[in-house]
Structure 1
Amino acid sequence: MASKKRKREVDVELVKVYEELADQDETVRLNAARTLLSQIFKAGVTSEEQTTNILRRLFRGLCSGRKAARLGFSVALTELLSQLSVTEASAADSPISSATIVHILEGETTPETGTSGQDGRDHYFGRIFGADAILKSGIFFARSDQVQWKQLLDLIAALAIKKPWLRQECGWILFSCISANTAVPVPQTFAIDTLEALLSHKLIRTPEGVAVWIATTKRFPDAKLPKSAWKHEDPLASKEINALSTILKDARASQPDQDFEAQGSATWSANLHFAWDVVLSELYATVAEPQVSARDRVSFEKFWAVAVEESLFSNASSTERKSWGLNLWRRVMETAPRSLLRHTFTQAALRCFVNSLKAPERLLQRCASRLAQTFPRRILMENNEEEKEDSNGFISTCVRSFLESVSYGDFDLITKTKTMQNILETKSDQVTMAIAQALEHLLESSVVDETEELRNTRQKCIVGLQGKVLAVALRSVEQSPVESVALPVAASIMTSWLQKAYISPESLAKQDTPVTSQVHELIVARLGAGFEQALRLGNPGVRLFAESLLSIHAMEQSGVQMKIQFEDEVATAIDTAWTRLQESYRLAQIQASQKDSEKNPYSMHDGLLLLYCLILFQVYNGETEAVEITRELIAFHDQWIASHKKSGKSKKSQKATALMEGDDVAIIEILLGFASRPSKFLRRITQQIFESLAPQISKDGLESLCNILRAKENAQGQNEMFQSADVDMADNSDEEDLDSDVEIVSASSSAEEDASTRDSESESESDGDSSTSSTDEEQDSESDAELAAFDAALASALGTRPLDQTDAAGSSSDSESDADMGDDEMMELDEKLAEVFRARNSVNPKNKRKEAKDAKENIVNFKNRVLDLIDTYLKQQYQNPLAIELITPLLKLIRTTKTKQIADHANNVLRNFLTKCKGPVGPNLTTSAEIERGISVLKLIHEETCLQASNQHAAAASLSSILVTKAVAKGDPPSLSTIVQLYASTRLRQLTDKKCHVTPIFFTDWNNWCQSTEKRFAK
């Protein structure tokens, strides 16, 4: 009874162990296996019957699809067989023989007759797991039981033939067994027997056979392998490449020699066969070990061309094969040495990759998307120094191949991905430099049989990508606290563009193909955009701007011919400008290194430096006006140097004479000339120059800015601003004589042409739309047609023909005939002329409305640029006594402008200034003259407050009045009585004058300020 009870207890414990071996939790499974091998089974104690029962149960458990039964039972079985392997099969105390193990495996994993399909599959899976457990345990190797392992090999090979969908798993366990380093070493005879078994079952010329063969030759290089397997005794032999390609594609090839026929698979798997990894690892070895390639083995380049390019990526390949090719390419990108990667960018592979990214098939699209993600990651991978040395070649090949695959179009737009963007935006300065060099090489290279249109497209694409790389480099400089290689990257791109924009193509010996005219225009535009981005960085951007231009000057001095040639007089001025630029750059660098420059990032030298850079940039761009501006700037600089020397070496004198009286007006006029143009770069640099010169700007200089704010926002204001002839916008044209009529027509026509020209330039710069120029040409042709019709009508009325250049000589003599006309004829002529001009005026209103609209847009744009400069001044010089001079013009602009955007802009500028001057901070009025001027400005503000305006104007005027009051009271407390009287008079005016429109907030703010400061002035 006791023995039966113990047996039941053991059975219960075994049931629990078997149940836990199938648990989903790996820890539970491992604990159950440990319990089985430590408590239930004990070597030398457990009887043969008990051991056999345990083995049968474990083998049977491998055939179960319940939970994780196969995983748990295979671990327990492997460990149990490992313990059995320490006992020889012929020993007297051997619990179980090798033949018994094979017999149990075969018996327990054979499905019974009549079982369902799933049950049969479970049994076949169980046989694979069981065979794997036997091989991993090494029990046959420890006992050197060659007969039994041959029987086991036959079972595995027979299963691979009977169930082709399990062939890869069968090959994997054999490959793993031979290549793994186990506690019990695999004997060489087993590896040879494995190949013999595969050969006898015609499985040697399969992907599994290739993998096992390579594993055997790698582990046992001196082994005598079957010679009938391969014609050249090696599947990786150069002459076996076609057969290897067919085998790895897993297709059956029809060959005359049936002994060397590739055994194809009846099934397909989306996963890449493990044999590809085995073959690739051998091909990679040719890079690390050149002696391997000396054995007449196929190279990686040839392998890719035949087994991948011509096989998986061929036009006739199915979707499934192409997905294999994309997965294989991804595997190579992740594992191959960098020197081999350039061989993968072949034509068919790239075509399949691009087409798959935009393909409707989800399989190909998913594989291609995963592949696209590997390129940026691999570019950043730096495993060893050898890869670093070859990184430029790989990156160049990658970028060039992608661009060529889409005919130098927008790769990301065509494929609807961010592949190229991710490559360009890699966070590595070394990679960014390599990409910049690759693009430069592509831009300078020539293509055989390339048409002008294709060259234009290619160069435009590359310049666009260079612009993106430049933006990445500049962002890296902005984000990096210390200087990195990103700034040289930006400098190399800018210098390259400058060379192609300004240097004659004949002088660029290294350049095979010059840029087209359209690309030249694009480069000039990109230069402006690039310098604008650089100037945002502050001093590093200024240095980049100056150094890039100076590099061109250095080449010019060395004898390189420029595209633009200057006359002697102009060349002298340009040379002087270059000399002044170099000197300003040197002084700016010295001042930037001083600690006292941290408070004010820009100095007078920075302003002059940027001015010279800007003007020389415009000169070499072909701007004719820039030459005259260069002379003006040199003259101003000469005066500044002379006054600077006379003032002595005192710092106060230097600051006081930084700009002589009236000199700042000339500089401001130059800046306004550039700022008024519709260019983001010009707006940026003029503001930065103005910020550098702001401490030295005089009252006259600020007044020149305010004069523009006072201009009318119409054609009359435009003509007054630019000192042009007045344009009569009225509709009535009752003129007294012929001469005045003709003059008016001429003036109107001239103004119309000027406005049309400015409008054309503005639209072409801001929008870059090619249709603008054609529209302006049509409008010009319409105007010419109208003038021609008017001339014809006028000639008809006068009884003559239209006047041309050939009639100029005889005009004086013809005019004498007018004296012979009688009174009646003169009256008739007057009626005809009046009719002609009435017809002319009926056509002109449409053109005049357009002219007025264009003039208003020009003035509004100009005022916006001036407001930007004033905002720059007030942000930096808010403590300057001259800052209060800008308050009244801003208030008047808010009140008088008819453009809401201008009113809002002016209000924002004034609000920013008032916010900057909160608390005790504000303009410092120290001298009596400054106090008197402050009181005068305060009176003007009160006058402005009394006028009818918007609530926006009233609030700004109230706060401005408080600001000036605070500044005057701080500088001269006794002046507080004058301020109180001024507020009192304004209150009285509010009560007695109907035309006074002071709002309540004006006195509310005054009362609040009085309450907050009464303790400061009370005695």
Structure 2
Amino acid sequence: MSKKRKREVDVELVKVYEDLADEQENVRLAAAHTLLSKIYKPGITSHEQTKTILTRLFRGLCSSRKSARLGFSVALTELLSQLAAAPDVSPESHVSVSAVIDLLEAQTLPEKGTSGQDERDHYFGRVFGADAILKSGIVFGKKTDQSHFKRLLDIVCALAIKKPWLRQECGWVLYNCIVSDQDDLPESLSLHIIDKLVANKLIRTPEGVAIWLVASRRFPSVKLPKSTWKSGHPLVKKDVNILADILKDAKVQQEEGDSDLKSQGSARWSANLHFAWEVVLAETFRNTSRESGVRKDVKNSIRGDDKITFDLFWKVVVDESLFAPASSAERKSWGFSLWKKIFETAPPELLIYTFTPQATRCLANSLKSSERFLQRSAQRLSQVIQARLADTEPRDQRANLAATYVQALLQSVSVGDFDQITKSKTLQSLFEAKQTGVVEGISFALTDLLKRSSEEKEKKTTLLQQKTILNLQWKMISARLRRWEQIQMQQEGDIDETEKELVSSVLQSWLREVCISPTSNRLHNLNGEFLPEARDFAKERLSLAFEQALKLGSLGCWLLKHVLLHIRELEALNVQMSTAFEDDIKAIVETAWQNLANIQTNTQMSSTVDRAPAKASKTAVHVKVLSFPEGLSLLYSLLLFQIYSGETEAVQILQEVLENWSRRTDNQKSNASTDNGQVSADAIMEILLSFVSRPSKFMRRITIDIFDAFAPNITATGLEAMCRILETKENLQGQQEMFEAGDVENEDEEQLASESEMEGLDSDVELTSISESSQSAETTDSETDDESTDSQASAGEEEEEDAELAAFDAALASALGTRRLNQDDLDAASDASESSSDADMGDDEMMQLDSKLAEVFRARSEQQSKNKRKEAKEAKENIVNFKNRVLDLTESYFKHQQHNPLTMDLILPLLKLARTTQTKQLADRACNILQQFCSRCKGPNAPDLPSDCYSGHVIDVLKSIHEEAGMESSHAHSNAASLSSILVAKALVRANATNIKSIVEIYASTRLRQLTDKKCRVLPGFFTDWNNWCQSTREKLVG
């Protein structure tokens, strides 16, 4: 029996072929290097061995396994390059060019009956093989017959015609053949490529256009066939529509004489952008940027100004073609890819031409499209546009580009909120840009659109656009203020002065709309004519901007002052304000303006001392606190803003502030003690409490900042006003008592001034409204200002009471069988009462009337009961809200004044509040404030007690805390009492170690009460905390 001879396998060669298909590029390159350095050796490897290697490489190009085509293509190109570089090898080992092309055709020809996938793999292998032969330069040698190149060209063109879905790849091979650095490529071969494309009707394709353009640019002197294009060049202006059809791979409708040049449409769609677009774009860039319009094309005598410029190319080829309303999603995706490519490669001066209405409308629709592929294309484009905006230089060009972009986006959605409509963050990302030039452009665009909005004929449309633009301006301002805050926190340096002026200018434009009379014609050219509702909306956004600016500390204080001083500039220009003042009031306001202008504020970082925890703390928390002058600046700014906004009660408050400031200034001039300055701060405390009680977030925020600035100068008397509010009952009686107390204090203050002055003030504190009655009657559609809400609420309550009385009168009249009497009926009844006699009524009628009247009065009683319950509920909500605002002040005081001994006076009111309140939220918050304060006061961060006399007061506070701890209360209250007691003990020992004796006696007394008094409810944990503290303090006391 015969045995088969065992086949010998070259393990190294198998490993090389395996690695050529690897997905890692470095592995493929290493395998190709091994093949060409160890396995194939020029002059040594035989002819058969070389053909075997070539055959294996061509077969590898037909494999779809991993990255086989890439690896085998590199190896084949390098191998053929070595064959071309070594023409003197022996005939036994030489492989001719014709033999190589024969191998290409033979190895890439699919067998009959193969599957469709196998057929596609072989044709792809033919394209890669032809590309490798052309890249190797084996057909471009000086001694090489040009027939080899023509044969290879026939193969490529035949494949492009036979398989249109490979036409782009075949065109790419020929394009690279011309554009590559092959110095041996003669002009005749490039002309032959053009002739072959014309002959095969492939010239009017994207590939044909690209090859024509690159051939004409590389070989300017070559005479290309004139009959190919009507005007001798594919980029002539009058043939731009034909170019548009060619580039989007559509069949062009040809005239009768051009039947031989009919173009072919694509047989397939590819998500990747055709390479011809980049070639055409590069030409249009050059045509547009060319300075001289009289230059002519050397070969075709085409004037430079007759060629397509970029703006025309975008309008016809892209905007009216790819972004047409009837265009498919695939074509629109091409448009986005092309738009993206333009923003990556085009000169900056050409980018503004791309923001055409139809293109930006398509972008907006695609961002909110349900087609994920189109949506992702639009999102990638938005990211590229934003990145290009950041890189564009110089600054004015960047601002112009940003303005054009934002304006086009907003107009594409009828000046609506683009991000909200498209459910994206396109504009928000621009608002947060680091480059000031981008924000400048956005601000300019929004201002221009705001001015145009008044040109709308329909009032509803105008109002909607004005509110939308104002809201976008607010988003931009908010983003910039957040960035400023981030710069301060990270200490990245000073903020750009241009950006500060930009933010100020927007806020000043809102302030003009709030303060200037609508009938004034001056300065209307800046913002256009605002509707009353839009002015109210601008006032709301201005308050929100001021509120956010206050988070910046000194910088926010400067910004608020800088914006409000713009009113002074307007008054200097004799601009008519919406409010007019009597002479006395005008003098008060003028004094306030002078004081405000004289206060120096910091325009950069916070100017106050940053309080940080001691070294024992792991992290240093820096807290920004305003100085006393900055707090006074905020107070003046707030009151002046309220006065010019039409709030009359702010005038009297401003006068009180001026009087206090005058007394403080006089004391400083007379070298008085600091206590007088503190008296001034205590007087301002009542004003701050009136501010904080208002349901305005802006008022609460600015009040806290002013309070923090004045806190070092506030005495125990000022803090007592806060404590009284915390002790107020949370019912209708407590509300009445609180307001009665306020009235008594006001009466005491009035006695300080003469009666004649106050009477004059009462008569003069009237602000004359300049607004037209029709404008003041209109109300805004969105949320209204908090103060106007209060007045509307009170008016609504009066209307509700009138409605209840009317309903009662109607019910009573129905029971009596009459109707409601008017004034004429009452007069007639009065005249006839003396002459007419009363008609008698029967018993049954009287009983029936009694029952009806009883029913009416019963319903009236129920309604009154409901009203009382409603009033009680509202009173409780008001008191709870007021206490929460006072807790805001208390928490801020603990945070910024933790070394102040007056913090001891606030502990007991908080403990009482936590125990006595019926609102769980208040109790929990009071306990949390105490716990946080105690946790911060560790080591040297405890309050500093100034003297032994004051230590005696603090010992009394400690006794009161122990009394609170013995009251029946929640576990949270007991825990807060225990922590507070330890804190006070720390402060006493720190002030004087001998105070430990008094502390021990107090704890001993409390322990005795716990053991002997049933009413003492001190929890065991109270003494556990005491024992732990004693253990940790013993070493310090003994040492």
Question: When the two structures are superposed, what TM-score results if normalisation uses the length of structure 2?
Answer: 0.82
The 5-angstrom pairing of residues 324-343 of structure 1 reads: 324-343=334-353
1:646 equivalenced with 2:670 (yes/no): yes
Structure 2 vs 1, CA of residues 36 and 722 (structure 1 numbering), >3 Å: closer, same or farther?
A: closer
1:484 equivalenced with 2:495 (yes/no): yes
Rounded to whole Å, the distance in 2 between the matches of 1:452 and 1:294 is 50
Deviations 1:326-368 (A, max 9, x none): 3222222333233222222223323333333333334323333
1:415 equivalenced with 2:422 (yes/no): yes
Structure 2 equivalent of residue 466 of structure 1: 473
Structure 1 equivalent of residue 755 of structure 2: none
The 5-angstrom pairing of residues 213-292 of structure 1 reads: 213-257=212-256, 258-291=259-292
Quick one: higher RCO (CA 8 Å, sep 6+), 1 or 2?
A: 2
Aligned residues of 1:459 and 1:519 also touching (Cα < 8 A): yes
1:519 equivalenced with 2:526 (yes/no): no
TM-superposed deviation, 1:11:
8.4
Aligned residue identity for 2:495: S
1:611 equivalenced with 2:611 (yes/no): no
TM-superposed deviation, 1:524:
1.3
Rounded to whole Å, the distance in 2 between the matches of 1:92 and 1:590 is 85
Aligned residue identity for 2:802: D
Deviations 1:92-128 (A, max 9, x none): 9994554444444444444455555444434333332
Structure 2 vs 1, CA of residues 620 and 189 (structure 1 numbering), >3 Å: closer, same or farther?
A: same
Rounded to whole Å, the distance in 2 between the matches of 1:417 and 1:815 is 78
Structure 2 vs 1, CA of residues 925 and 782 (structure 1 numbering), >3 Å: closer, same or farther?
A: closer
SS, match of residue 226 in structure 2: coil
Rounded to whole Å, the distance in 2 between the matches of 1:439 and 1:542 is 26
Rounded to whole Å, the distance in 1 between the matches of 2:154 and 2:364 is 46
Structure 2 vs 1, CA of residues 255 and 766 (structure 1 numbering), >3 Å: closer, same or farther?
A: closer
Deviations 1:760-784 (A, max 9, x none): x9x9979999999999987654421
Structure 1 equivalent of residue 464 of structure 2: 457
The 5-angstrom pairing of residues 44-193 of structure 1 reads: 55=54, 58-65=57-64, 68-86=67-85, 95=94, 97-143=96-142, 145-182=145-182, 184-193=183-192
1:540 equivalenced with 2:555 (yes/no): yes
Aligned residue identity for 2:367: L
1:787 equivalenced with 2:805 (yes/no): yes
TM-superposed deviation, 1:244:
0.3
Aligned residues of 1:243 and 1:262 also touching (Cα < 8 A): no
Aligned residue identity for 2:591: T
Rounded to whole Å, the distance in 1 between the matches of 2:255 and 2:154 is 28
Structure 1 equivalent of residue 385 of structure 2: 375
Aligned residue identity for 1:159: L
In structure 2, which of residues 926, 937, 948 is the aligned counterpart of residue 906 of structure 1? Answer: 926
Aligned residues of 2:430 and 2:439 also touching (Cα < 8 A): no
Question: When the two structures are superposed, what TM-score results if normalisation uses the length of structure 1?
Answer: 0.84
TM-superposed deviation, 1:299:
1.5
The 5-angstrom pairing of residues 341-380 of structure 1 reads: 341-380=351-390
Deviations 1:426-460 (A, max 9, x none): 34444334333332333233475442222222222
Report the identity percentage. Answer: 51
Rounded to whole Å, the distance in 2 between the matches of 1:596 and 1:117 is 77
Rounded to whole Å, the distance in 2 between the matches of 1:925 and 1:594 is 21
SS, match of residue 290 in structure 1: coil
Structure 1 equivalent of residue 653 of structure 2: 629
SS, match of residue 211 in structure 1: helix
1:434 equivalenced with 2:441 (yes/no): yes
In structure 2, which of residues 971, 975, 982 is the aligned counterpart of residue 955 of structure 1? Answer: 975
SS, match of residue 659 in structure 1: helix
Aligned residues of 1:678 and 1:765 also touching (Cα < 8 A): no
The farther-off stretch of 880-889 and 16-25 is 16-25
Structure 2 vs 1, CA of residues 795 and 194 (structure 1 numbering), >3 Å: closer, same or farther?
A: closer
Structure 1 equivalent of residue 748 of structure 2: none
The 5-angstrom pairing of residues 401-412 of structure 1 reads: 401-412=408-419
TM-superposed deviation, 1:614:
1.2
TM-superposed deviation, 1:658:
1.9
The 5-angstrom pairing of residues 2-41 of structure 1 reads: 21-22=20-21, 26-27=25-26, 29-34=28-33, 36-38=35-37
Rounded to whole Å, the distance in 1 between the matches of 2:785 and 2:579 is 27
TM-superposed deviation, 1:645:
1.0
The 5-angstrom pairing of residues 815-854 of structure 1 reads: 840-854=860-874
Aligned residue identity for 1:611: L
Structure 1 equivalent of residue 756 of structure 2: none
1:697 equivalenced with 2:708 (yes/no): no
Aligned residues of 2:322 and 2:334 also touching (Cα < 8 A): yes
Aligned residues of 1:588 and 1:603 also touching (Cα < 8 A): no
Rounded to whole Å, the distance in 2 between the matches of 1:17 and 1:783 is 97
Structure 2 vs 1, CA of residues 705 and 272 (structure 1 numbering), >3 Å: closer, same or farther?
A: same
Rounded to whole Å, the distance in 2 between the matches of 1:62 and 1:307 is 37
TM-superposed deviation, 1:47:
6.3
Structure 2 equivalent of residue 752 of structure 1: none
Rounded to whole Å, the distance in 2 between the matches of 1:372 and 1:705 is 53
Aligned residues of 1:456 and 1:519 also touching (Cα < 8 A): yes
Aligned residues of 2:207 and 2:276 also touching (Cα < 8 A): yes
TM-superposed deviation, 1:237:
0.9
Rounded to whole Å, the distance in 1 between the matches of 2:986 and 2:70 is 85
Rounded to whole Å, the distance in 2 between the matches of 1:253 and 1:554 is 66
Structure 2 equivalent of residue 737 of structure 1: none
The 5-angstrom pairing of residues 522-921 of structure 1 reads: 522-585=537-600, 592=607, 601-647=625-671, 653=673, 655-660=674-679, 663-723=680-740, 781-790=799-808, 840-919=860-939, 921=941
Structure 1 equivalent of residue 397 of structure 2: 390
TM-superposed deviation, 1:469:
1.8
TM-superposed deviation, 1:950:
3.0
TM-superposed deviation, 1:228:
0.7
Structure 2 equivalent of residue 493 of structure 1: 506
TM-superposed deviation, 1:502:
2.3
Structure 2 vs 1, CA of residues 552 and 664 (structure 1 numbering), >3 Å: closer, same or farther?
A: same
Aligned residues of 1:584 and 1:606 also touching (Cα < 8 A): yes
Deviations 1:647-685 (A, max 9, x none): 26xxxx4x433233xx33431111111101122221111
TM-superposed deviation, 1:208:
0.7
Deviations 1:118-163 (A, max 9, x none): 4443433333223222221223322263333223222222221111
Aligned residue identity for 1:514: E
Structure 2 vs 1, CA of residues 89 and 198 (structure 1 numbering), >3 Å: closer, same or farther?
A: farther
Aligned residue identity for 2:281: L
Deviations 1:176-230 (A, max 9, x none): 1111113x44221111111111111111111110000010111112221110111
Tell me the C-alpha RMSD between the 2 structures: 4.4
Q: For this pair of structures, how many residues does the alignment match?
A: 957
Aligned residues of 2:610 and 2:624 also touching (Cα < 8 A): no
The farther-off stretch of 48-57 and 843-852 is 48-57
The farther-off stretch of 869-878 and 34-43 is 34-43
Aligned residue identity for 1:556: E
Structure 1 equivalent of residue 451 of structure 2: 444
SS, match of residue 723 in structure 1: helix
In structure 2, which of residues 944, 954, 957 is the aligned counterpart of residue 937 of structure 1? Answer: 957
SS, match of residue 141 in structure 1: coil
Structure 2 vs 1, CA of residues 89 and 166 (structure 1 numbering), >3 Å: closer, same or farther?
A: farther
